[in-house]
Structures are given as C-alpha cells and as structure tokens.
Amino acid sequence: MRVLKILNNNAFISQDENNEEIVVMGRGIGFQRKVNDEIQMSEGMKIFSNKDNGLNEKLKEVISNIPENYIEITEKIVNILKEKYNKELHNIIYVSLTEHIHSAVERFKNGIEIKNPLLNEIKRLYKDEYDVSLEALEIIRKELGIAFTKDEAGYITNHIINAQLDGSMNNTAEITRIAQKILNIIEYNMLITINEETMSYYRIVTHLKFLALRMINGTVNDEDDDLFEMLKVKYPKCYKCVSIINEFSKTNYDYELTNAEQMYLIIYIQRLCKESTK
C-alpha cells in the first residue's frame, strides 16, 4: 500500500483497493517513511476504514491531538483482552479508550478524581473486564507515572464493555443497573445467595447484559422457543421468578420478554440455584 500522509511514527493514511481512504496503524510503521513509499501489509498492522461510522476520521483526530504513548497504552490493554481473555472488540476502542485515558490523566493532574457509583456492580458483573482494567491501571502507572484509584478501573471497564457490545452503545451504566436488578430479583424470589465463582453465574451475567441491551433498544430476540412450555411446567418456581422479571421489564422499559427469552432465563436460573446457597 502507498503512503499518502504520515500521521506519526505509528500511523499513516493510505487507500484501499476501491481508492477509499484508510488509516493504517502499527508500531513504528511511519518511522522514517515518506509520502508515496510502498509498504507491505504485515502482522501487527491494523486498518481502519471510514465506512465504519467515520471511524478513521475520529482516529485521525485522536492521533493529531493526543500523544502517541496513549494509543500505545490502549493497544496494550486491547492485546491483554484478546490474548488472555479471547475478547473481540470493536475498533472504536482505539478512539474512546484513548480519549478517556488522556482526559482522566489531565483531570488527575488538576487534582480532580471522580468516584464511580457503580464500582461494586461493575466488579460483580464484568469480572474479566474489570481484572483487565486493574492491569490497565498498572500499565498507566508504569508508562505515565499516574496512580489511579480503582474507581478509574470501573470507568475503563465501561469502555471495554461498550466496545464488546457494538462499539457505539453508551448505555453501560443502565445495562449494569438492569442486570443487577434482575440478579436481585432472582436471589429474593428463589431464596438463594448466588455463588459468583460458578460457570452458571458467568453464563447468566453474559445473558443478562445482552437482554438488558435489547430491553433498552427495544430489539426482539426471536430465537426458537419450542422448549418454553415444557420448562415452565417442569420448573414452576423458576418460571414464577421469570414472570416477575418480565413484569419488571414491561413496567420499566415497555419491553415484554419473548417466550425464547423466558425459556433461557428459566434454564439459567435453574442451573444457578443448583450451584448457590439456600
């Protein structure tokens, strides 16, 4: 690919096969390069297309206004998520998280730290992402000499979750509240204390995140629900609990759970009860 403009040592502008502008990013790929140089695509390079909601325009703005080491910090965090936890992320993370870290550092230097009112819920619902965010705080401390509190790990977790869901969703706080409310409903109505170290907990939390997103956006999950009638008879207590969750959804979000969604909740709640304490 041909270099059209050097953005910095780690990025340049080029064109794809349709002559559409792209941003190419990778460690050191712009170093000592000149306009019209031909560069072969290699491992570690990333291509950002403007077809993706103007992503490369946003990225160029970040590259122009934020020091390179902030994007490098984001890259390290993304690599941990991919290599250690096998998490797939929308490329918007390179914009949103880089901007956030830069802003957080500027606030810190001015003596401003913001408490995270949802920190406990975030730690409970997004364990993997929160653990990565704690590693991110250590990366920031080593790279920038800034020692953030764990409240900041909660905010970094929000950006990671956003990038996992669809890259443009900004309802992480509301999703967290919904998922926590549903877990509270389950504990209260099933008379259990949920064991958060089990696979069943991990599975139902993952399910609740996307159910909450559908409740907020009003998008319906129309998967097969043939087992629903059988399961509501086989597990009547779980079905009663799901009915209460459905009422919560209708009352607060004008969203009625489909039979398929109720079916999955019955399955998850039944498994959860087997691994939780009464």
Residue 74: which pLDDT band, with cuts at 50, 70 and 90? very high
**More confidently predicted of 151 and 36:** 151
Between CA 25 and CA 95 the distance in angstroms is 13
| pLDDT tens, position by position, 168-200 | 445 788 888 999 999 999 999 999 999 888 878
pLDDT value, residue 221 = 65
Residue 21's DSSP bridge partners are 15
Mean of the pLDDT values across residues 5-18?
Answer: 80
Q: Which residue has the higher pLDDT, 20 or 221?
A: 20
| CATH of the domain spanning 68-165 | 1.10.1790.10
- Main-chain dihedrals φ then ψ at residue 10, nearest 5 degrees: -115, 10
- Higher-pLDDT residue of 223, 112: 112
Q: Strand, helix or coil at 238?
A: helix
Enumerate the β-bridge partners of residue 8. 11
List the domain boundaries for the chain: 5-52, 68-165, 172-274
Rounded to an integer, what distance in angstroms lies between the CA atom of residue 136 and that of residue 187? 33
Q: Is residue 167's pLDDT more than 60?
A: no
Question: Predicted confidence band at 166 (pLDDT cuts at 50, 70, 90)?
Answer: low
**Average pLDDT for 201-208:** 86
Q: Dihedrals φ, ψ of 225, to 5°?
A: -130, 30
Q: Looking at the predicted structure, is the pLDDT value of residue 139 above 70?
A: yes
Best CA proximity match to 169, nearest among 246, 96, 244: 96
With CA atoms as reference, report the closest residue to 173 among 150, 157, 186.
157
| Tokens encoding 148 | 């953030």
pLDDT (tens digit per residue) in 13-58 = 888 777 788 888 777 777 778 787 888 777 677 777 766 656 778 8
Q: Give pLDDT tens digits for 80-123.
A: 999 998 888 888 899 889 999 999 999 999 998 888 888 888 89
Looking at the domain 5-52, which fold is it? Answer: Transcription Regulation, Sacy; Chain A (2.30.24)
Rounded average pLDDT over 263-273: 92
Percentage of the chain beyond pLDDT 90 is: 42
Q: CA 81 to CA 134: how far, in whole Å?
A: 12
| DSSP 8-state secondary structure symbol assigned to residue 256 | P
Judge whether 126 and 133 are in contact, CB under 8 Å: no
Fold matches, 68-165 and 172-274:
yes
Residue with tokens 């290699």: 42
Neighbours of 270 (CB within 10 A): 18
Check whether 142 has a pLDDT greater than 90.
yes
Superfamily of domain 172-274: PRD domain (1.10.1790.10)
